[in-house]
Structure 1
Amino acid sequence: MLAFTLKRLLSGAILLVAVATGTFFLAYLAIPDPTLGLLGSAATPDAQAALAQKIGTDRPLLVQFGDWIGGMLRGDFGDSWKNFQPVGKQIGLKLPVTLSVVSAATLLSAVLGGVLGVIAGLRPNSWTDRTVKAGAVILFALPGFWVALVLVMIFAVQLKWFPAVGYTQPTQSAGGWLLSITLPSFALALGAVVMIAEQLRSAIILADRQDYVRTLRSRGLPQWRVVVHLVRNAAPASLTVLALMFVGLLSGAVVVEQIFALPGIGAQTLGASQNGDIPVLLGITVITVVFVVIVNFLLDVLLGWINPKARAK
């Protein structure tokens, strides 16, 4: 297990460096002259040259990359080209908002998707199974932004149960914080619930046909213990989907944060893209990849613990 864990840590570190390198050069390829976005189209050549010297883009690209990658490995993402404040500090102020919504959406996806998947998987082709499948098709087909707007209209505007926009810090009010992330989390989670429920349903139906399940039932084992065995054997595929959903939810948070006016990294990413603020874009990308690597690492370790055969991969 130790060798398996170390191997996954090494592969995660390699992935982080590879993505950071690719993102750096792609950013400069997409924004060859960031001074235009920072100063505007009316900027004079002298102003552009002065800003390029200040932010260091007048140097060779490989020199810039060496300085940035060295700082990144030390945890220093440099300064923003827009306001010249440390990138790490700015991301640190926005990241908790996004993580609050994404973490809550992931938890909702796991719980709701797990319950629906188990119910449908234990009664295939029943009215419950058909209802879950029909609901899954409908929810999967609906655009995420439309679902978010409907939730706002019903639960915020009409019923007034939740705030329509804005974010409350948990240090100010734990109840207000929970209310402020509820609608965004549900809007973000609905598509993931569908995927997890479908995956778990299929895995449970497949596991229920195995010989060991018939043996357990023939020995008179209570139904709840049989279900535990089924869920444990069906869990690896669903956990993999859940980890992929976490990555997708991070991306989907950009749209949801705009609809609910949340001050997360989604709005920060859009602003940096419009302004050509490459250090902020690179910092957000690296932080996002770090979380993806951590989630995949925890998933691999968990799967290796559940299924020893996975350690050999």
Structure 2
Amino acid sequence: MAVFLRLALRRIAIMPVMILGITLLVFVVMQFSPADPAFNALGEGATPEARAAFAEEHGLNDPLPIRYADFLGQLLRGDLGVTLPPGQAVADRIALALPVTLQLTALGLVLAIVLAVAMGVTGAVRRDRWPDQVTRILSMAGIAIPSFWLGVVLIQQFALNTPAFPTGGYVNPAESPTGWLRAMALPAISLAVPVAASLARLIRTSMVAELDRDYVRTATGNGLPRALVIRGVLRNALVTPLTVLGIKVGYLLSGAVVIETIFDLPGMGKLILEGVTGGDTALVQGTVLTIALAFLVVNVVVDLLYLLVNPRIRTV
């Protein structure tokens, strides 16, 4: 346990440095945006004098290091800036949109894990038989299919041709859990299928390697139930797929931005699209920074889970 705590504290200790690096990267990239904050805020009718006064008031003429220091100071106060007129706080907009994205990502992750485990275990247990061949074909097809294309196909088939699900929109789960599930089902499937297909291949490969180990033959020879043996093998086989789970969650977060646009969900994707089309630098900057920080936190959590399930790491 002492080794685990030391490794966990080491992972957590580097988070401030990584957060600082993320803020610097996002800030510098946004400085190359062709959008003119003064022009976007004041409109086409603003005089050059008014734009110059706006730039001076908001520190746009200051050197880059000073602007970055001011940006960090605002972040420490929880201030992500203000959107273009009507001038809403970016943090308030994100507070409304982020839960939608997290709900979609979580539902997609759960669905992806269930599908991946089912396909991976089936392929490994029925190795080189027809169920294994079917799961291999499905895995390759799932990896090749873009999530946005799958979303369009699902809308066409299950919302238009067969109106079993809505074409888009969002329902608050507190108001109608059933309505929320129906609204999120197709977007979650669109996100989950490529991730599930990729994880299924990893799980199958790991389980095949574990099934060939001596302890499995010994357990089977001693008469242990097959289901109990498979359960133990699965636990050991999940160590390797868990190492890439953080990356897959990042894929789900980034993919959710596109899927939300297709299904008209009021999440972070809609905010990014609104900021890009409207030239709202503060909105894009705050949204991208929030997604990047969420990705960082998820990866640290996955690293800690990996330490918990892999005893060999804890004894290093």
* Fold match (TM-score > 0.5): yes
Residue 256 of structure 2 corresponds to residue 253 of structure 1:
yes
> Per-residue deviation at 1:65?
0.9
Question: Contact 1:94/1:263 (CA < 8 Å) preserved in 2?
Answer: yes
Question: Contact 1:68/1:78 (CA < 8 Å) preserved in 2?
Answer: no
Match of 2:122 in 1: 119
Match of 2:173 in 1: 170
Match of 1:225 in 2: 228
> Per-residue deviation at 1:78?
2.5
Cα 1:55–1:90 change in 2 (3 A) is farther
Match of 2:27 in 1: 24
> Per-residue deviation at 1:186?
0.6
Q: Return 5+ residue gaps in structure 1 as ranges.
A: none
Distance 1:85 1:245 in 2: 33
Normalising by structure 2, we get a TM-score of 0.92
> Per-residue deviation at 1:30?
3.2
Residue 274 of structure 2 corresponds to residue 271 of structure 1:
yes
Question: Contact 2:146/2:194 (CA < 8 Å) preserved in 1?
Answer: no
Distance 1:15 1:240 in 2: 19
Match of 1:244 in 2: 247
> Per-residue deviation at 1:46?
3.0
Letter in 1 for 2:300: F
Q: Return 5+ residue gaps in structure 2 as ranges.
A: none
Question: Contact 2:253/2:295 (CA < 8 Å) preserved in 1?
Answer: no
Match of 1:296 in 2: 299
Question: Contact 1:16/1:286 (CA < 8 Å) preserved in 2?
Answer: no
- The number of aligned residues is 313
Out of 154, 159, 162, the position equivalent to 1:159 is 162
> Per-residue deviation at 1:32?
7.0
Identity %: 34
Out of 262, 265, 281, the position equivalent to 1:262 is 265
Distance 2:278 2:62 in 1: 20
Cα 1:211–1:157 change in 2 (3 A) is same
Structure 1 range deviating more: 208-217 or 102-111 = 208-217
> Per-residue deviation at 1:259?
1.0
Structure 1 segment 1-313 matched on structure 2, within 5 A: 1-31=4-34, 33-38=36-41, 44-311=47-314
Distance 1:4 1:210 in 2: 29
Q: Please, what is the CA RMSD of the aligned residues? A: 2.0
